[in-house]
Chains A and B, each alone.
Chain A
Amino acid sequence: MGHAMIEWVYIGAVTAILVWVGADSWVAEKMIDEIPEEAETIKVTAQQWFWTFEHADGTKEVGELHLKAGKAYRFEVTSKDVIHAFNIPFYTAMIDAVPGRINKVWFAPDQVGEFLIQCREYCGLLHSQMRAKLIVEA
């Protein structure tokens, strides 16, 4: 074992770990991004400084969103004015709301309760107050 061996161990170990990190992240992201076919669509519209939700049957909610536990939902998110970001921290769901563009994110709530919906992109004076309530029912 010459002096170069420690360098090869160093290079080999770090390269192996970084390859594993890349592969693991790619697999996880692919799995998470796949939207289930049976997911119900909810149209989310952001504007300064509140959220509007439209269910598949046409009913609309402002500042509140009622969902059922154990069911998958696909959110089609857009904005009427500036760029916002639709974020539900508890369910690790976040996607930009961009004017003229529909971005999609999904999740299936598994816990009953009330959760925070917030804007995660600075969008003006009342950005910090741009919140809504997610109510997950059994």
Chain B
Amino acid sequence: MIIFDRIFKYGIKVKSLGVALVTSARLLSLVLAPLLVASLIPILDSAFAQEADQFVNRRIEIWALFYRLMTAAFIVGAVVQGVMLFIAVRFREGKVKQREVAR
């Protein structure tokens, strides 16, 4: 917990982590930015591919979908794990403020 305290004290502001570190809009945009990029890639891809191929290339489309869904799955995993870590640290018993609230 000392490590966490130091990280939060000098790296990011622990006292106002939920308030001032990132606003909800910033956090959402951070989470959704990789998805935006992942969704743009196939659009650009197909725009270039139309000139070369007469037919839809199932192999490429299916694997591209697989990789996009894997990206989404990892982002969901990161969001879930990130929130769990945040809650565990933010509301830990060892935190003095929490102890005072408990009393």
Chain B, range 56-76, C-beta contacts under 8 Å to A: 56-59, 61-65, 68-69, 72, 75-76
Q: Is A138's beta carbon under 8 Å from chain B?
A: no
Q: A9-B24, A91-B59 are in contact. Are A28 and B65 (CB under 8 A)?
A: yes
- Asked whether A12 lies within 8 Å of B62 as measured between CB atoms, the reply is no
Q: Quick check: is B55 within 8 A (CB to CB) of the other chain?
A: yes
Q: Which of A17-25, A49-57, A77-85, A128-136 contacts B (4 or more CB under 8 A)?
A: A17-25
Q: How far is the CA of A92 from the CA of B66 in the complex (A)?
A: 12
Question: Which residue of A is nearest B62, CB measured?
Answer: A92
Nearest CB on A from B23, distance (A):
8
Nearest-CB distance from B59 to chain A (Å)?
5
What A residues does B69 contact at CB under 8 A? 21, 24-25
Interface mask (B72-91 → A, CB under 8 Å = 1, otherwise 0): 10011001100100110000
- Is A24 in contact with B54, judged by CB distance below 8 angstroms? no
- Contacting B56 at CB < 8 Å: which of A3, A13, A21, A31? A31
Shortest B55–chain A CB gap in Å is 4
Q: Are A1's CB and B24's CB within 8 A?
A: yes
Q: Is B94 on the interface with A (CB-CB < 8 A)?
A: no
A70 on the B face (CB < 8 A): yes
Q: Mark A51-83, 1 if CB is under 8 A from B, else 0.
A: 000000000000000000010100000000000
Contact across chains for A8 and B62 when beta carbons are under 8 A apart: no
Chain B residues within 8 Å of A1, by CB: 18-19, 23-24
Contact A13 B58 (CB under 8 A): no
Q: Quick check: is A5 within 8 A (CB to CB) of the other chain?
A: yes
Q: How far is the CB of B45 from chain A (nearest CB, A)?
A: 12
